[in-house]
């Protein structure tokens, strides 16, 4: 069967892109309003960098993020095609694996993604790739929540590469995948928040905005996404002595 982009596939692309954008607007937008507008003065003491980013930089973050979600929407068309042709490990009957596996599969997706992200992230810091691809994301030295998905188009494609790995390797329910992508979005926004958070909100191996802000400012360290485990195992973890824990 030849796969051609017809109107139904256009609808899939449009719906997927809109869902990506709406989810991002709700999560990133809410945090941006709280920390960069409404409660800006109240939370200023928690700001990792005293200077706020320019409006031009914020507009650039938004532009590249929208481009990323357009690409993500296109990739969903491919994933739907695979699903319709039963090429993946998707199961539709929730009772087939039960609630325990549903939860476990989400946690497994996060662990798989953290591993995938760490190593692809390090690869993109190689001089053969950084200048042409990852430099776009690193042009935001003082990131806001809108920088979370501000990628070069090629990096957007690479970042979406975790999805085929998941859907071909493990049994998954579509709602588990949706929850995973939502948690992914929330985590990515939080590490680009630009503010340190209370100690009770940080687990032992959790990656935070503190680590990632240092990474954005030229440190060849802190490549992780969700956790600091890979960084600590590979000797790429770095954290300055700050007063963020209170």
Is 244 inside a domain boundary? Answer: no
Please state, in angstroms and rounded to a whole number, the distance separating the CA atoms of residues 18 and 183: 18
Please state, in angstroms and rounded to a whole number, the distance separating the CA atoms of residues 129 and 157: 14
Is 158 inside a domain boundary? Answer: yes
Is 222 inside a domain boundary? Answer: yes
Is 178 inside a domain boundary? Answer: yes
Instruction: Decide which of 220 and 25 is more confident.
Output: 25
Return the pLDDT at 71: 98
Residue 114 contacts residue 230 (beta carbons within 8 Å):
yes
Is 242 inside a domain boundary? Answer: no
- Integer CA distances (angstroms), 94 to 108, 159, 164, 176, in order: 17, 28, 21, 10
Burial 80-115 (b: 16+ CB within 10 A, else e): eeeeeeeebebbeeeeebeeebeeebbebbbebbbb
- Helix or strand run (H / E) with residue 140: none
**Span 205-224, average pLDDT:** 92
Q: Which residues have C-beta within 8 Å of that of residue 225, sequence separation ≥ 6?
A: 113, 114, 117, 118, 121, 187, 188, 191, 207
Is 239 inside a domain boundary? Answer: no
pLDDT-derived band at 220 (thresholds 50, 70, 90) equals: confident
Is 146 inside a domain boundary? Answer: yes
* pLDDT tops 70 at residue 161: yes
Domain enclosing residue 62, as ranges: 7-234
* pLDDT tops 70 at residue 7: no
pLDDT digits (tens, 9 = 90+) for 95-126: 999 999 999 999 999 999 999 999 999 999 99
Please state, in angstroms and rounded to a whole number, the distance separating the CA atoms of residues 102 and 96: 10
Return the pLDDT at 46: 95
Is 166 inside a domain boundary? Answer: yes
Residue 61 contacts residue 147 (beta carbons within 8 Å):
yes
Domain count, the chain: 1
Please state, in angstroms and rounded to a whole number, the distance separating the CA atoms of residues 176 and 163: 12
* pLDDT tops 60 at residue 30: yes
- Integer CA distances (angstroms), 228 to 120, 153, 213, 240, in order: 15, 26, 14, 14
């Amino acid at each position: 069967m030849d796969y051609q982009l017809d109107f139904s596939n256009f609808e899939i692309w449009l719906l997927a892109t809109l869902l990506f954008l709406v989810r991002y607007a709700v999560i990133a937008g809410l945090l941006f309003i709280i920390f960069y507008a409404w409660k800006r003065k109240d939370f200023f003491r928690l700001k990792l960098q005293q200077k706020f980013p320019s409006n031009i930089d914020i507009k650039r973050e938004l532009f590249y993020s929208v481009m990323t979600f357009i690409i993500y929407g296109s990739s969903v068309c491919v994933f739907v095609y695979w699903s319709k042709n039963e090429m993946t490990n998707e199961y539709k009957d929730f009772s087939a694996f039960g609630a325990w596996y549903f939860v476990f599969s989400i946690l497994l997706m996060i662990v798989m993604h953290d591993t995938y992200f760490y190593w692809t992230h390090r690869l993109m810091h190689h001089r053969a790739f950084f200048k042409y691809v990852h430099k776009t994301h690193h042009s935001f030295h003082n990131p806001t929540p809108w920088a979370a998905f501000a990628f070069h188009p090629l990096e957007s494609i690479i970042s979406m590469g975790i999805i085929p790995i998941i859907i071909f390797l493990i049994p998954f329910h579509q709602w588990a995948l949706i929850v995973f992508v939502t948690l992914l979005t929330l985590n990515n926004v939080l590490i680009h928040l630009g503010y340190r958070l209370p100690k009770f909100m940080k687990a032992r191996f959790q990656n935070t905005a503190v680590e990632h802000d240092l990474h954005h400012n030229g440190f060849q360290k802190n490549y992780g996404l969700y956790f600091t485990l890979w960084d600590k195992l590979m000797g790429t973890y770095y954290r300055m002595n700050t007063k963020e824990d209170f």
